[in-house]
Structure 1
Amino acid sequence: MSKYRVWILLIVCNLFWAGNYVFGKYVTAEMTPLAITFSRWVLAVLLLFPTAHFLEKPEWRKAGKSWKPLVMMGILGIICYNLSLYAALDYTSATNAALVNSLAPGTIAVLSVIMLGERISKLQILGILISLIGVLLVLTEGNLMEVFQMQYNRGDLIMLFAVVVWTLYSIIGKRVGNMIPPITATAISALFAIALMLPFIIREGMNLTQLSLLAIIGVLYIAICASVCSFVFWNMAIREIGASKAGIFINLMPVFTALISWSLGESITAAQIAGGLFVFTGVYFTTGMLERKLKERQQEKLSV
């Protein structure tokens, strides 16, 4: 797979996840975090298994033998991350949640070096820092000191836990990706997650008949776009370019969230536009495109 295709997958992936923040805020008003997580992944699994069967044609028995890391992926990326995200949105704003989530690229990069032996260049580190500054500009509307003045609450701490969980999911996903195709891995891990959640959802109960039309649309969006498409695209990407490089694209999420909010009628400031440019610049540095161009120019000079 070409790197350009991988980058497109990551951009679309984070665009869909940005919509998850917007719709998630509406859906949490009518459903518990457990009910949202369970219902979205039941719908997702119904789509994932046929998709995996026809596109990847996996050896299901062989894939099933690697059940231990797949169970861990289900617990971390599907149960813990989603429950944490929706629980956090109950206590904090989408802005604060996105701010805490912007720590993910850094934590993924650090653990990828420690646990996977991935190498990160100085330009990639610079890209992560530039992108983080861009995220802060978007979220604070240019008033960077607000980061230290904002009041953090229980929801922010829950979101911090979600970042740690997602980092571990990405690391395991990279290892599993070397053995099992991405759609297959996502489908099986989701099935394990549903089985683990089932006793708790039976005990809690779930009444879908009283949901508003907006909540139903939200659940469908979260199931199809933010679950099936995004998780498959994410696992395909980290399989190709590694968790550390893929992780920086997470910083596109607050930019896309701001754009979605703007399309729904909210205003957007010059500082937020500048922040978005910082984020895209940071992503450009981290993908290695600039590094390759500098090397090509250096080789051209040496050949002359």
Structure 2
Amino acid sequence: MKLRYWLFLLLCNLLWAGNMVTGKYVVTEFTPLWITFLRWAISIVILFPIAHFYEKPDWKMVIKQSWLKLAFMGILGIVLFNILTYSALKYTSSTNASLVSALNPAIIMILSVFLLKERMTFVQIMGLIISFFGVVVILTQGNPLQILYTNYNKGDLLMLGVDLSWAVYSIMGKKMTGVPPITATAISSCIGVLMMLPFLFNEPLQFNKITTHGIAGIVYIALFASVCAFVLWNISVRSLGAGKASISLNLIPIYTAVINLLLGKHLDQAQIWGGLIVLAGMLLTSNIFKQKREAVNFTIPKVHQAK
């Protein structure tokens, strides 16, 4: 039943919005590398038993046949995505970070055209343009005409890299049809943790900075924003597809804004208007207004090789 997977996505994105807010505080006590490492080191302890008893995979066969794809998923979705996210939160607000991340569906759809040979309608293309304009409004603090002269916030620019890494990760997740979703998450996160190990020696933990709030934040990020959210996301992507599932990512800035407002923070006009423009563009991109429009074929023509 498709409704179940959409409900999974509603919860998944709420948990990720919490990660944005929590990460903003945790990054003051841990470096982005240590947050990412601890997040997934804790997560794999839970993910592997769940995968083993629930999905019952043939571990040797999975690793033998798909280790390269799983390694790339570990690099993109575990290491790069997380380190860039927490690095961005050192320089920008959680609201801004979530608003820029709203470009994710657009990037996924663009990559789907090139990598999965999917089609886009004219309305979807207009939605992409509108969404990009909304992000420009956020990046330029409400002065889009100053795009060539603005000193951009480093965190907002890093979030564009986060969007790209997540888009490729999601598309790869869709193509991992031979590996159960929880198993794929467990193995790719384990690979990511092993890759980070050598770099930890250059960034020793500063125990004098760590508080109970920081430890609680790490636990939340590991259990809820990692184990629960990633499992729900991968299960939903496998059923609905990366393109459809990515529509739900538009909820992250809404959830984040609500959480921040409940915590007593305020939104400035650039964030409000830019966010509304981004979301309006995403509604068009997702084709939420059902149509029977003729698709504009932007697929890359196949090259016929000589036999």
TM-score normalised according to structure 2 size:
0.80
- In structure 2, the residue matched to 1:225 is 224
Taking the aligned partners of 2:163 and 2:196, their CA distance within structure 1 comes to 21
Taking the aligned partners of 2:273 and 2:199, their CA distance within structure 1 comes to 45
Taking the aligned partners of 1:69 and 1:90, their CA distance within structure 2 comes to 31
> Is the alpha carbon distance of 1:269 and 1:153 closer, same or farther for their aligned partners in structure 2, counting shifts above 3 Å?
closer
1:49 lines up with 2:54 in the alignment = no
Deviations 1:174-226 (A, max 9, x none): 111x1111111000000001111111113422355752121111111111111
With 149-158 and 30-39 compared, the bigger mean Cα shift is at 149-158
- Gaps spanning 5+ residues in structure 1: where? 296-304
> Is the alpha carbon distance of 1:110 and 1:130 closer, same or farther for their aligned partners in structure 2, counting shifts above 3 Å?
same
Taking the aligned partners of 1:268 and 1:155, their CA distance within structure 2 comes to 17
Structure 1 ranges of 4+ moved more than 4 A: 121-137, 142-151, 207-210, 267-290
Deviations 1:159-182 (A, max 9, x none): 222222111111211111x11111
Equivalent pair of 1:85/1:159 in contact (CA under 8 Å)? yes
With 219-228 and 111-120 compared, the bigger mean Cα shift is at 111-120
Q: Which amino acid aligns with 2:86?
A: Y
Q: Which amino acid aligns with 2:84?
A: S
Taking the aligned partners of 2:114 and 2:94, their CA distance within structure 1 comes to 31
> Is the alpha carbon distance of 1:248 and 1:133 closer, same or farther for their aligned partners in structure 2, counting shifts above 3 Å?
farther
> Is the alpha carbon distance of 1:43 and 1:189 closer, same or farther for their aligned partners in structure 2, counting shifts above 3 Å?
same
Secondary structure of the structure 1 residue equivalent to 2:223: helix
With 191-200 and 265-274 compared, the bigger mean Cα shift is at 265-274
1:169 lines up with 2:159 in the alignment = no
Q: Which amino acid aligns with 2:31?
A: T
> Is the alpha carbon distance of 1:220 and 1:8 closer, same or farther for their aligned partners in structure 2, counting shifts above 3 Å?
same
> Is the alpha carbon distance of 1:13 and 1:275 closer, same or farther for their aligned partners in structure 2, counting shifts above 3 Å?
farther
- In structure 2, the residue matched to 1:89 is 89
- In structure 2, the residue matched to 1:5 is 4
Shift of 1:12: 1.4
With 116-125 and 98-107 compared, the bigger mean Cα shift is at 116-125
Equivalent pair of 1:102/1:132 in contact (CA under 8 Å)? no
Q: Which amino acid aligns with 1:92?
A: T
Q: Which amino acid aligns with 1:55?
A: Y
Equivalent pair of 1:106/1:128 in contact (CA under 8 Å)? yes
Taking the aligned partners of 1:5 and 1:283, their CA distance within structure 2 comes to 22
Equivalent pair of 2:106/2:285 in contact (CA under 8 Å)? no
Equivalent pair of 2:171/2:242 in contact (CA under 8 Å)? yes
Shift of 1:106: 1.0
- Gaps spanning 5+ residues in structure 2: where? 294-307
Taking the aligned partners of 1:89 and 1:212, their CA distance within structure 2 comes to 19
Shift of 1:97: 2.4
> Is the alpha carbon distance of 1:173 and 1:262 closer, same or farther for their aligned partners in structure 2, counting shifts above 3 Å?
same
Secondary structure of the structure 1 residue equivalent to 2:14: helix
Taking the aligned partners of 2:145 and 2:6, their CA distance within structure 1 comes to 32
> Is the alpha carbon distance of 1:234 and 1:36 closer, same or farther for their aligned partners in structure 2, counting shifts above 3 Å?
same
Identity of aligned residues (%): 47
Q: Which amino acid aligns with 2:225?
A: A
